[in-house]
Chains A and B, each alone.
Chain A
Amino acid sequence: EAQVTQNPRYLITVTGKKLTVTCSQNMNHEYMSWYRQDPGLGLRQIYYSMNVEVTDKGDVPEGYKVSRKEKRNFPLILESPSPNQTSLYFCASNFRQAYGYTFGSGTRLTVV
């Protein structure tokens, strides 16, 4: 089944403790992105990648890192999480712009 797989689905952590949210797609898509969803704000792009080793900042990149060492994987790294990063996170991949993105099932992150 064609899909984007994110892990974990839920995560509660403490301020300052480094964490990684994994994302993997099995569709051989070149484009991958991370979004965060907050009430009243919709979804906003954090980082994106157009191919292996090609990554760049989206609209809200502060406090996040990404890497794209393999085409299928695009992990999101929070080096020192803070409470304002409490949010619902989505990884997504895209083959062609016109087709829109396929989203993962989301990661609910709470930073206390």
Chain B
Amino acid sequence: AQTVTQSQPEMSVQEAETVTLSCTYDTSENNYYLFWYKQPPSRQMILVIRQEAYKQQNATENRFSVNFQKAAKSFSLKISDSQLGDTAMYFCAFMKQRDNQGGKLIFGQGTELSVKP
């Protein structure tokens, strides 16, 4: 069974600085997808960034980038130039490719990020 672990329950960062959120996962699969979701106080789940395991290049979306280390089963999220609106719970999630369960997302426990002015 796949598991996802986020070892940092809470983090804080000063506005305009850079912060990295950690995520590790355990799987025997070779083909899969990884995601970071953001959940602000409004509780809406918002897709931040995604990575396909067969791609060696790390995904980037504006101020958000990942460090994907397949051999180490690590998928960290870097937020550059942090903004107050980045304050949220962040979830790392794993999905097995060609999953006959309709693409089940397996989530980590979440990291609560506070951006301070």
Q: Which residues of B contact A43 (CB under 8 A)?
A: 45, 91, 105, 107
Q: Contact between B102 and A50 (Cβ–Cβ < 8 Å)?
A: yes
Query: Is A33 engaged at the interface, CB distance under 8 Å to the other chain?
Result: yes
CB within 8 Å of B: which A38-70 residues: 40-45, 48-50, 56, 58-59
Q: Mark B29-52, 1 if CB is under 8 A from A, else 0.
A: 000010101000011111100101
Q: Contact between B103 and A94 (Cβ–Cβ < 8 Å)?
A: yes
Q: Which residues of B contact A106 (CB under 8 A)?
A: 43-45
CB within 8 Å of B: which A94-112 residues: 94, 97-103, 105-106, 108
Minimum distance in angstroms from A50 CB to a CB of chain B: 5
CA distance A35 to B93 in the complex (A): 13
Contact size class for B? 20 to 34
Minimum distance in angstroms from B113 CB to a CB of chain A: 15
Query: Is B95 engaged at the interface, CB distance under 8 Å to the other chain?
Result: yes
Query: Is B101 engaged at the interface, CB distance under 8 Å to the other chain?
Result: yes
Q: Contact between B47 and A105 (Cβ–Cβ < 8 Å)?
A: no
Q: Contact between B104 and A45 (Cβ–Cβ < 8 Å)?
A: yes
Q: Contact between B101 and A98 (Cβ–Cβ < 8 Å)?
A: no
Query: Is A27 engaged at the interface, CB distance under 8 Å to the other chain?
Result: no
CA distance A48 to B91 in the complex (A): 20
Q: Which residues of A contact B37 (CB under 8 A)?
A: 100, 103
Minimum distance in angstroms from A10 CB to a CB of chain B: 11
| Contact status of A48 and B52, CB under 8 A, knowing A97-B33, A98-B33 | no
Q: Interface on B for A, CB 8 Å cutoff?
A: 4, 33, 35, 37, 42-47, 50, 52, 91, 93, 95, 97-99, 101-105, 107-110
Q: A48-B104, A98-B50, A101-B105 are in contact. List 7 more A-B contacts (CB 8 A).
A: A33-B102, A42-B109, A56-B102, A100-B93, A101-B45, A103-B45, A108-B43
**Which 4 pairs, one residue from A and one from B, show the smallest C-beta to C-beta distance?**
A42-B107, A103-B45, A48-B102, A97-B103
